[in-house]
Structure formats: structure tokens, C-alpha cells
Amino acid sequence: MLEDRDTQNNTARFIFLSPASRAFYPHWEDAADATAARLRTAAGRNPRDRQLTDLIGELVTRSNAFNRRWSAHDIRLHHTGTKHIHHPDVGDLEFIYEGVDLPDHPGWMMYAYTSAPGSPTEERIKLLGSLATTDVRTPS
């Protein structure tokens, strides 16, 4: 996720408050729908969570796109699926994800993201790894 002062490193804020999210998520409408539905699911499970209700209130007042989706009352659990992002250095990436419930933390999930072997995404991830190891700066 790209850094943006308004988003405070929060995916929902990034999607609904940062114009950069529309470039980052090639399927922005799907990402926005899923995010609003997951927030509605979380709000139903945790109606007294002050941080969550503050976040929802902020998004409802600052984003028409979120407000429309929130008003639809969709809920969604995501245990498996495909996520598309656009990385500024290597382009479009497609990940398959799988979520696992964490029994000691009700309502929490851990996600694993993978790419298909031999896919363009796998090659682009390798390229990102090589970029990270070759971009070492030495003091002058």
C-alpha cells in the first residue's frame, strides 16, 4: 500500500480517501465493494469497537463512494479469492489468497497470498526481489 498522510496506513482509508488507490487497485470497484462489506461485517461483530466506529464515521462523512456502499448493507467474509494490484515498479500483479481463522482471536484472520507458478506475477515478484537487493546505497 502506498503511503499517504490521510490514510494513516489503513487500507480502508487508502481505498476511499486516496486518489492513488485507483491506480494501485486495477479493479478498484471490486476492492471498494469488498472493503465496505468487510467493515460492515466487522461492525456487526464488534458494535462497541470505538476505533472501528470512528473509522466508519470518518469514511461515511469523507467519501461518497464509501457512503453509497455502506448504505447498501452488504456483508462479506473473505476466506479465499483473488487480489489484483498495480505495483508502480513492476506493473500488474495477481495474487490468490487464502484466509485462516485464528481461534485464539475471534474475528481475526491470517491471510496467505501466493502467485501461480510460472505466472507473470511470479516473475514480477522475483524482479522486485532483485531490485531490492541491487538498490543498496553506500555512503559517499
Q: Which residues contact 133 (CB under 8 A, 6 or more apart)?
A: none
DSSP 7-52: TTT-HHHHHHH-TTHHHH-TTHHHHHHHHHHHHHHHHHH-TT-HHH
CA distance 38 to 133: 36
CA distance 20 to 3: 10
- For residue 133, the model assigns a pLDDT of 73
Q: What is the pLDDT of residues 56-66, one digit of tens each?
A: 999 999 999 99
Q: Does residue 26 share a domain with residue 59?
A: yes
Count of domains forming the chain = 2
pTM of the model: 0.68
Q: Does residue 69 share a domain with residue 12?
A: yes
Q: What is the pLDDT of residues 83-140, one digit of tens each?
A: 899 999 999 999 999 988 888 887 777 889 999 999 999 999 999 888 877 655 555 5
Q: Which amino acid is at 29?
A: E
